[in-house]
Amino acid sequence: MSILIDQNIKVLVQGLTGKEGLFHTEQMIDYGTPIVGGITPGKGGYIHLGIPIFNTVEEAVNHTGGNVSVIFVPATFASDAILESIYMNIQVIVCITEGIPVSDMIRVKHFLKGKKSCLVGPNCPGIISPEKSKVGIMPNSVFKKKGNVGIISRSGTLTYEAADQIVKFGYGISTAIGIGGDSIIGIDMKEVIRLFFHDPDTECIVMIGEIGGQLEIEASEWMKKLDNKKPVIGFIAGQTAPEGKTMGHAGAIIEKKIETAQEKMKIMEKNGIYVVQSPANIGKAVYEVFH
């Protein structure tokens, strides 16, 4: 199994006809992802990469039955693109766009409440389930082998690094998901880990966090209370970051001592997570969990 996506999804690409949309749609098709339509206002009726383009998500859903969307829309219009998909009850919405204003995301979060949609991102690399499908921008070459290790990460590049190490140690990935590094995001770490804990094919989880916020702490506190646990390997990026300075992601800013890498790692370890000091040790840690 996998979480959130599999080989049976029907993917719509919002912003398919733009430069980024075209490039990554081609990569998703090459990976085997079933892309059924694209959305670009004003370009309905055109065909790109053999895929029909529609003016609205509503039109695309009605013609194709699309149930997953991936968004490559510029930041100014990205929140409207998300809202459009939520309105049409798209099951999983993956927003790749970075730089969406916080005020726009507050509006999106409010609209999401009580809806059927699951939002991943924004400012994220998406989701990939090896040998099934990919929704986002993760490199095809790294995620070739399916297996029983789930990855959740706030960092795109460290997701790829972790997967590469895990594969080199002879293991594979069940699903890898990048939740994004902005201060306001859709699905969080606790929610993803809950999905992994209910996935029979995921036997071990790698959780890659960052300084700032308390997503990793909330997830580890939740896991501590469970009777049936799966092994979790954790790493926090930004161990040398100065206090009060944004590092890379909008959400990676330390506002309280508890949000430093050192404090997070202490709390995670206390809650039973196998914490590694360097991303270079993730593959080795997975190997040790299975031996």
- As annotated, the residues of the chain forming the CATH 3.40.50.261 domain(s) are 141-291
Lowest mean pLDDT among 11-25, 46-60, 218-232, 253-267: 253-267
Alpha-carbon gap, residue 44 to 55, rounded angstroms = 5
Give the pLDDT band (50/70/90) at residue 229: confident
Q: What's the mean per-residue pLDDT of the chain?
A: 93
Catalytic residue, candidates 24, 63, 110, 249: 249
Q: Where are any strands of DSSP class E within 114-154?
A: 118-120, 126-129, 133-136, 146-153
DSSP 178-239: E--SSSS-SS-HHHHHHHHHT-TT--EEEEEEESSSSHHHHHHHHHHT-SS---EEEEEE-T
Note the pLDDT tens digit of each residue in 2-14. Answer: 899 999 999 999 9
Superfamily of structural domain 141-291? Succinyl-CoA synthetase domains (3.40.50.261)
Instruction: Render pLDDT for 196-224 as a digit per residue (tens, 0 to 9).
Output: 999 999 999 999 999 988 999 999 999 99
**For residues 83 and 73, what is the distance between their CA atoms, to the nearest angstrom?**
12
Q: Are 196 and 202 in contact (CB under 8 A)?
A: yes
Model pLDDT, residue 140: 96
- Full-model pTM: 0.94
Residues of the chain with CATH 3.40.50.720: 1-123
Give the pLDDT confidence score for residue 141 in this predicted structure. 94
Determine which helix (DSSP H) or strand (DSSP E) holds 62, and give its type and residue range: helix 57-64
Share of the chain above pLDDT 70, in %: 93
Q: How far is CA 27 from CA 78, 97, 104, 189, in A?
A: 21, 17, 29, 27
What pLDDT, on the 0 to 100 scale, is given for residue 238?
Answer: 82
**For residue 155, pLDDT beyond 80:** yes
Question: What is each CA distance from 146 to 142, 271, 280, in whole angstroms?
Answer: 11, 29, 21
Active site residue 110: no
Alpha-carbon span 259 to 215, nearest angstrom: 9
Report which of residues 78 and 247 the model is more confident about: 78
Q: How far apart, in whole angstroms, are the C-alpha atoms of residue 93 and residue 12?
A: 10
Instruction: Give the closest residue to 122 by CA, choosing from 200, 185, 51.
Output: 185
What are the pLDDT digits (tens) for 236-265? 998 765 665 555 565 555 556 678 899 999
Strand partners, 69: 12, 93
| Percent of the chain residues topping a pLDDT of 90 | 86
Provide the token pair at 138. 């993760």
CATH topology of domain 1-123: Rossmann fold (3.40.50)
Average pLDDT of the segment spanning 84-90? 98
